[in-house]
Structure 1
Amino acid sequence: MYYDDFKKVSDGASKKVDFMNKSILGYGVSSILAGIYIGLAVILVNTIGGALPSGAAKILMGAGFSLGLCLVVIGGAELFTGNVFSMTSGILDNTINAFNGIKLLVICYIGNFVGSIITALLFYAGGGLKSENIALFINNSSLSKMSMSSTDIFFKAILCNMLVCLAVWCATRCKSESGKIMMIFLCIFAFVVSGFEHCIANMTLMTASMLSPFAEGVTLSGFLHNIIFSTLGNIVGGSVFVALPYFIISKYR
């Protein structure tokens, strides 16, 4: 049962690598789209957060952020955090080699970063940061993330990508589109409401914050501090806590 589903993931990793090797441009565009999709979800949830009281806002923010991963999974795009699970699965199952898996993750990460920046710039150009409530909410969220200790960011990022990769894994196992959407919704709702750290989402958030007229206290060093440790935690969460356990299980069940 698990073997067949895990094989879908590892074979999918091989197809992703083939796509990258066939056209780095095409793969890069797909990665940029994923950064844009996650960025759109970031803008949505922070618009909600800036407009509503904190209690109600957090629940709706959790619900709204699932839009990003739904667009990635169902619309089709290449997201770094989900690909950590996919590439690790392919490497463990010997459908791809480590060099190609790491190469794909690097290209995907860069593409996601570009897409995140594009989304933040478009939001800024469209006047989205002219709303004081929204701009202050984005700024305060960014300051909170930048001021966390490296260990807090790292472990919250592990938990985050466990949930993101479980959403991808469950979507692989679901037989219907509605089932996929429901599992994505529940997993993403859990990570947003719990306040976990997603490196790609944070790229859009903190870029928008640096463009904000209320950007006091937001720094490039704080940006890099969060992104480095959230990226490392996301890698551990997807590879060690999701891909590796299901690889082991798939050998016996």
Structure 2
Amino acid sequence: MSELYGADAYSPAEIARRIESVGEAKARMAALPLALLGVLAGAFIGLGAMLFVLVKSDPTLGFAASAVLGGLVFAMGLLMVVVAGAELFTGNNLIAMAWADGRVSTAQELRNWAIVCVANFVGATGLALLVWASGHASLNGGAVGQTVVQIAVNKQALPWVEALLRGVLCNVLVCMAVWMAMGGRSVTDKAVAVVFPVMAFVAAGFEHSIANMYLMPLAMLLQHGGLTGHSAVTWSGMLGNLLPVMVGNVLGGAVLVAGVYHVIYKRPPNGP
């Protein structure tokens, strides 16, 4: 069947097998490299969010143009994760497929998610601190900083259910991007697979927990420095956003992508 997809791509069934094998390897990875790769992923996603803000701070762009172009540049973050190699909490929700097939224990899966999530936070907030100290937010007459704060304020104000559902929708698209990237053999293949789903979730305004770990701390740093004149974003407000978004991200990636594909490709032929 694989010949139908050409020599340069894996078939969907082959992708499922690769996702499961990679998930098992991720779940068994030693803590130190796992944590360091998690720090890198947090920083990579933060870099994508940084470019997104740069686009959104330009008032000459229309709504659709800024949304789509912002999503396009944000995709750089996930592409760096996929190609350069890093451990991203949202993408690692696909480990659930190896768990569902009994190749990974619940403890191993949760260990991976916990270490990677904390490391992503360190990487994203560390980048936020560097960006703040660099004076990047003063670009475009301070509009970049103002945009960061406004985005963070809007995220903080999201109702719990809305934040959760936006998290679900976001990680369906992120995990589909990772899934399709596993079907490619070249960097070009992976770039094409990643860009469009990521562009879609960003343009649609869905919620990515790791991106928020960059944007919301940066907004608080800018407020502390007095650049924007706002004082609305708080640690409790950030937590109120991250909790439902992370739950939504897990449901979208682990259930609606990994779970569904497990049923399709990995379910025993004579199973119930």
- TM-score, scaled relative to structure 1: 0.94
Structure 1: runs of 5 or more not aligned: none
Task: Kindly report structure 1 stretches of 4+ aligned residues shifted beyond 6 Å.
Answer: none
What residue in structure 2 maps to residue 76 of structure 1?
85
| Aligned-partner SS, 2:29 | helix
Q: Distance in 1 between matches of 2:22 and 2:87?
A: 12
Aligned-residue offset at 1:211: 0.6
| Aligned-partner SS, 2:22 | helix
Counterpart amino acid of 1:18? R
Q: Distance in 1 between matches of 2:184 and 2:68?
A: 25
What residue in structure 2 maps to residue 122 of structure 1?
130
**2:28 aligned to 9, 18, 22, which one?**
18
Asked if 1 retains the 8 angstrom alpha-carbon contact of 2:180 and 2:193, the reply is yes
Q: Distance in 2 between matches of 1:220 and 1:244?
A: 33
Q: Does 1:190 align with 2:195?
A: no
Asked if 1 retains the 8 angstrom alpha-carbon contact of 2:67 and 2:204, the reply is no
Counterpart amino acid of 2:265? S
| Aligned-partner SS, 1:247 | helix
What residue in structure 1 maps to residue 253 of structure 2?
238
Indicate the structure (1 or 2) with the bigger Cα radius of gyration: 2
What residue in structure 1 maps to residue 264 of structure 2?
249
What residue in structure 1 maps to residue 236 of structure 2?
221
Aligned-residue offset at 1:179: 2.0
Q: Distance in 1 between matches of 2:59 and 2:91?
A: 30
Counterpart amino acid of 1:160? C
Aligned-residue offset at 1:52: 4.2
Structure 2: runs of 5 or more not aligned: 1-10
For 1:131-151, what per-residue CA distance to the aligned partner results, in whole angstroms no more than 9, with x for missing partners?
Answer: 420111011111111101000
Asked if 2 retains the 8 angstrom alpha-carbon contact of 1:171 and 1:180, the reply is yes
Asked if 2 retains the 8 angstrom alpha-carbon contact of 1:2 and 1:249, the reply is no
Q: Distance in 2 between matches of 1:167 and 1:235?
A: 15
**Given the superposition, is the C-alpha separation of residues 58 and 3 from structure 1 closer, same or farther in structure 2, using an over 3 Å criterion?**
closer
Q: Distance in 2 between matches of 1:118 and 1:139?
A: 17
What residue in structure 2 maps to residue 211 of structure 1?
221
Asked if 1 retains the 8 angstrom alpha-carbon contact of 2:156 and 2:238, the reply is yes
Using the aligned pairs only, state the percent identity.
Answer: 33
Matches within 5 A, 1:1-253: 2-20=12-30, 24-55=31-62, 56-85=65-94, 87-131=95-139, 132-212=142-222, 213=226, 214=228, 215-251=230-266
Q: Which moved more, 1:39-48 or 1:186-195?
A: 39-48
For 1:203-230, what per-residue CA distance to the aligned partner results, in whole angstroms no more than 9, with x for missing partners?
Answer: 1000110011324211112111101110
Q: Distance in 2 between matches of 1:243 and 1:92?
A: 9
Aligned-residue offset at 1:25: 1.4
Asked if 1 retains the 8 angstrom alpha-carbon contact of 2:28 and 2:108, the reply is no
| Aligned-partner SS, 1:173 | coil
- TM-score, scaled relative to structure 2: 0.88
